[in-house]
Amino acid sequence: GAVVSQHPSWVICKSGTSVKIECRSLDFQATTMFWYRQFPKQSLMLMATSNEGSKATYEQGVEKDKFLINHASLTLSTLTVTSAHPEDSSFYICSARGRGHSYNEQFFGPGTRLTVL
Amino acid sequence: GQQVMQIPQYQHVQEGEDFTTYCNSSTTLSNIQWYKQRPGGHPVFLIQLVKSGEVKKQKRLTFQFGEAKKNSSLHITATQTTDVGTYFCAGPSAGGTSYGKLTFGQGTILTVHP
């Protein structure tokens, strides 16, 4: 149990376009989902926290208008990178915590590697 | 703000040698978690420690939570090539316990030479 999927696993796009990444909890209800970005050989940096049915809470320095997060249901959250630029190229990982599991335990998706040309 | 520091950043060992990574928080933690990320993969939960001075073992891995609940360590005995990856510690973010937010350490990248 506790499987989180992400789609797509990788994406290459042109500068200025928007990219949507989906994060799904497959076998549990995710009351909270987290979005991280990770640069090569670096740690996970939390971008935002989203609770089902409410607006996402963004970390300091993360532009909410650029990284749109929607947590429409207990099994789906989406991150849209709007007007992507090369500096947005990174590994984006979602995680989820939810019912039936330890409060603090997060289950990570496989990540989405975004390359902006 | 809250900081979670991990050392060393890199560790290269020969297969069979032991390995230890250390994690220190600037604030007292209610719990600490450890994750492993294989090259090209995503973080996978290993364990959570909650009690002061707690020690837990998973086969060749030994996890320890400090008495003051501000530091932790992960020790691997007799490393194998399958242990390769980045090991992260993570603690609840200050002020974020209502959402389960975590602050991750920088990670220790372990390479094992056969």
Amino acid letter for position B1: G
The pLDDT of residue B100: 75
DSSP state of B101: -
pLDDT the model gives residue A36: 95
Answer whether A101's CB lies under 8 Å from A32's CB: no
Record the tokens describing residue B84, joined without a space: 């390769």
Residue B30 and residue B33: Cα distance in Å, rounded?
Answer: 10
Q: What is the mean pLDDT of residues A57-65?
A: 92
The predicted-structure confidence for A62-111, as pLDDT tens digits, reads as follows 999 999 999 888 899 999 999 999 999 999 999 998 876 666 678 999 99
Please list every residue in chain A whose beta carbon sits closer than 8 Å to the beta carbon of residue B99.
32, 49, 51, 57
pLDDT digits over B90-102, tens only?
998 875 445 678 8
Instruction: Return left, alpha or beta for A39; rule: phi > 0 is left, psi -120 to 50 is alpha, else beta.
Output: beta
Nearest to B102 among A41, A106, A110 (CB): A106
pLDDT at residue A106 in the model: 86
Judged by a CB distance cut-off of 8 A, whether residue B7 touches chain A is no
CB contact B33 to A (< 8 Å): yes
Which residue shows structure tokens 């039936």?
Answer: A100
Provide the total of helices (H) and of strands (E) in chain B, helices listed first: 0, 11
How distant is the Cα of B18 from the closest Cα of chain A, in angstroms?
22
